[in-house]
Structure 1
Amino acid sequence: MHLYAIGDIHGHLGLLEAAHDLIAADMARHGTGQIIHVGDLVDRGPDSRGVIDHLIQGQARGEDWVVLKGNHDRMFTRFMNDPAEPEPGLRSEYSWLHPKLGGATTLASYGVAKAADRPVPKVYSEALAAVPDAHRDYLSTLPTLHLAGDCVFVHAGLRPGVPLDQQTETDLIWIRDAFLIEAESFGPLVVHGHTAIDHATHYGNRINLDSGAAYGGPLSAVVIEGREAALLTPQGRRKLPRPAPMLFRNA
């Protein structure tokens, strides 16, 4: 059995299509497998709308794709429900429209211009008119955890010591330090994104797929067989390094 996984997309439709092409080429050689996307479909990149359309259309035509919810996806959903509602995982000095988070770029992909520079009520009114209900419904109903093979797939990670069925959504899409410093096994191999590093890396108890597409880095696609993984490249599979220094950004 093999599984495929794709890291944080952040509005980069071209990178997502290229990742799917790499997977298709690998499937042609090794057989089909399920594809899991670990969340953060939106923000920072130029075409969040196109990314969501691409994923909705693929699942509608029967592709064996799992799409998980990331913290940026929930921030988008929460803004569309009520821009004044606080996000539990976000520092109080930030809002989704803060330039550091990229919400304005997501709204720009729907035709709502300069969202970070105008009054929120006006932006919100335009967003309600511009963002399709189908996109809002899709993001709000995305799962936050997926079990397959020897792996558990989540966006951010797991709270150590907490059973899978008792993990909170906020931890699954936001957790960092307590998860990242944990050296013990979580049981299943945890496959996640959320914390941007230089390249997809296997740490033994977890695999981090966020190779920084949001910051100009690549979008990683990997194939997982058992508890081993390989990065997919135009030249074929390349075994993931393990371990590597945890050089990550805080945004």
Structure 2
Amino acid sequence: MLSALRHAKPMAKPTLPDGVRIYAISDIHGCAHLLDQMLRVIDADVAHSRPRHAIEVFMGDYIDRGPDSRSTLDLLIERSQRGNAVFLKGNHEAFLDDVFRDPGRMGNWFQVGGLETLMSYGLSPSVNPDGDEQHELMRELSEVMPARHRDFLGRLRLNFSCGDFFFVHAGVRPGIRLAEQREEDLLWIREDFLQHKRRFSKYIVHGHTPVRSAEILDNRANIDTGAYATGNLTLLSIQGSSLLAI
């Protein structure tokens, strides 16, 4: 048995198909100025390295907390017109959906940055709006939010897979096949996923849980570096089996 262990082959590193380079960003949270900087970094790197296929993966939480959710969505929608970008859904986009359906959830939304989103669209909510104001604010938001923003938010994906990599906002439920994951886990999971040390069927790239600097572990990479609070929006570049966090 000991001899067999000594000669066991190391697990292969996750890899992308030849010629593919992926640029991944998560948890922008209304920091349009930081997003603009990172888009310029991507453009400069593509011009320099000229990958055969460059794919940009944006992993959710585009809105709330930071100062300019509206401009963040404008930048992403403009980026989508290039045809090589994938846009995933985050729990904050799901929260906005919930508040549109039930304005009574606005108080909870404000606790996670919804006030800043409303203000970015030119609205002036009170800090503790009552029921009537909540309904009026969501009616006003539906009027002032451009149709292209609602369309964009309505077309977000839950995950994206390429080669040996699986991109998702929050993470995955251990023990469940990737194809059978629940939306709630993909958008919200934390401890059960973060504490799992074994490899999944694919290498998981995620955000959702802020860390001081990008974590590149054996089974996953967390690239949420709390941009709205730290001013640090991380870009992960992947080519072959090489992962580089900028």
Distance 1:188 1:226, change over 3 A: farther
Partner of residue 116, structure 1 = 127
Residue 204 of structure 1 aligns with an amino acid whose one-letter code is D
Q: Does the 8 Å contact 1:151/1:227 carry over to 2?
A: no
Q: 2-side partners of 1:169 and 1:227: how far apart?
A: 28
Post-superposition offset of 1:181: 0.3
Superposed CA offset, 1:67-87 (max 9, x none): 11000111112212332469x
Q: TM-score, normalised by structure 1?
A: 0.83
Distance 1:97 1:85, change over 3 A: closer
Runs of 4+ in 1 over 6 A off after TM superposition: none
Post-superposition offset of 1:140: 2.4
Q: Among the aligned pairs, what percent are the same residue?
A: 38
Partner of residue 157, structure 1 = 171
State yes or no: 1:42 paired with 2:63.
Answer: yes
Structure 1 runs not aligned, ≥5 long:
87-93, 233-251
Q: 1-side partners of 2:41 and 2:126: how far apart?
A: 35
CA radius of gyration, larger in: 2
Q: Does the 8 Å contact 2:64/2:114 carry over to 1?
A: yes
Superposed CA offset, 1:23-66 (max 9, x none): 11211222241010111000011110111111112212x24111
Residue 113 of structure 2 aligns with an amino acid whose one-letter code is G
More helix by share: 2
Partner of residue 224, structure 2 = 210
Residue 56 of structure 1: which of 77, 97, 103 is its match?
A: 77
Post-superposition offset of 1:149: 2.2
Partner of residue 213, structure 2 = 199
Partner of residue 234, structure 2 = 220
Corresponding residue SS for 1:152: strand
Structure 2 runs not aligned, ≥5 long:
1-19
Partner of residue 150, structure 2 = 136
Q: Does the 8 Å contact 2:65/2:113 carry over to 1?
A: yes
State yes or no: 1:95 paired with 2:108.
Answer: yes
**Aligned-residue CA RMSD in angstroms?**
1.7
Q: 2-side partners of 1:45 and 1:153: how far apart?
A: 23
Residue 70 of structure 1 aligns with an amino acid whose one-letter code is G
State yes or no: 1:74 paired with 2:94.
Answer: yes
Q: TM-score, normalised by structure 2?
A: 0.85
